[in-house]
Amino acid sequence: MWTDDRVPRFWQRLGLPGIVDIHTHFMPQPVLDKVWGWFDSVRGADGRQLWPVLYREREEDRIALLRALGVRRFTSLFYAHKPGMARWLNDWGAQFAARVPECKQSATFYPEEGVDAYVAEAIEGGARVFKIHLEVGRFDARDPLLRPVWRRLEREGAVVVVHAGSGPVPGPFTGPEFFGPVLEAAPELAAVIAHMGGPEYREFLDMALRYPNVRLDTTMTFTDFMQQMGSVYPPDCLERIAEHPERVLLGTDFPNIPHPYAHQLQALERLGLGDDWLRAACHDNAAALLGLP
């Protein structure tokens, strides 16, 4: 398995100025501690921890690591799971992006009274990337309270990273049948489907090819960890993404991963889809989406 010293060599070999990671997590430490606590609780029948979080350094050390690896832009994806949570998370995200210029200012939302107003405030304040997690949040993307939000995001050209697939644990509102109607109502929405939409890989790939601004992020999909969990990307889907590199963006889930950061890049390279595909997926597509040179 690659170690992180391979990362600069990876993008230098491709002739890139670095890489762009659409799916990284920074959040207030008490919130992150709870996220890590959930991962710590995922254990096998023998009591063995199944998902050890590898990067538990201090926030400033995690930022320094991404810089050292050559990650030109990344996100601070956080998400709300109850009312009254999103607005203060968005305030934190604005402050974080103000002191970490490599971070594209991120925000979130939840179906509650006033949601469209605070989403508008976040966009006006510089938020470019939003994140929602339909399994953790346990809400329906089709909620009437969110209809003006989807239209606003579509109109403003903001990006929304959506954990809509039913992996690793299905929720009451995960799956393509819940997010598909959102795109029917807002067909120009710039949506990034996290984890390639797994395990509903085919359905979300169909969605990405049907709507002009829908993309898939690679987060953990092709790693050894996911293969061992039995979540294998279908060969016919691999052939289709080989033909459509513009639909794929690098995502890693850093720091909440049980393997070195470099392993996600190794997993993409061993797909054998070629250097042009890797350049598109690991830099050019997200650079264009986020407005980088």
Q: Is residue 243 packed enough to be buried (19+ CB in 10 Å), middle (13-18) or exposed (0-12)? A: exposed
* Confidence band for 136, pLDDT divided at 50, 70 and 90: very high
CB-based contact 178:193 (threshold 8 Å): no
Question: How many Å apart are CA 103 and CA 94, to the nearest integer?
Answer: 10
* Confidence band for 239, pLDDT divided at 50, 70 and 90: very high
State residue 42's pLDDT score: 84
Residue-averaged pLDDT of the chain: 97
Report, as an integer, the average pLDDT of 118-134. Answer: 98
Cα 113 off chain centre by: 26
- In this structure, whether the domain defined by 6-42+49-290 belongs to CATH 3.20.20.140 is answered with yes
Inter-CA distances, 212 with 67, 98, 164, 190, 292, Å: 32, 31, 18, 8, 20
State residue 46's pLDDT score: 85
Of 39, 71, 72, 73, which Cα lies nearest the Cα of 55?
A: 39
pLDDT digits (tens, 9 = 90+) for 4-43: 999 999 999 999 999 999 999 999 999 999 999 999 998 8
DSSP single-letter state for residue 125: T
User: How do the domains of the chain map onto residue ranges?
Assistant: 6-42+49-290
Report, as an integer, the average pLDDT of 101-119. Answer: 98
Sign for the CA dihedral angle at 164, 166, 171, 174 comes to positive
State residue 207's pLDDT score: 98
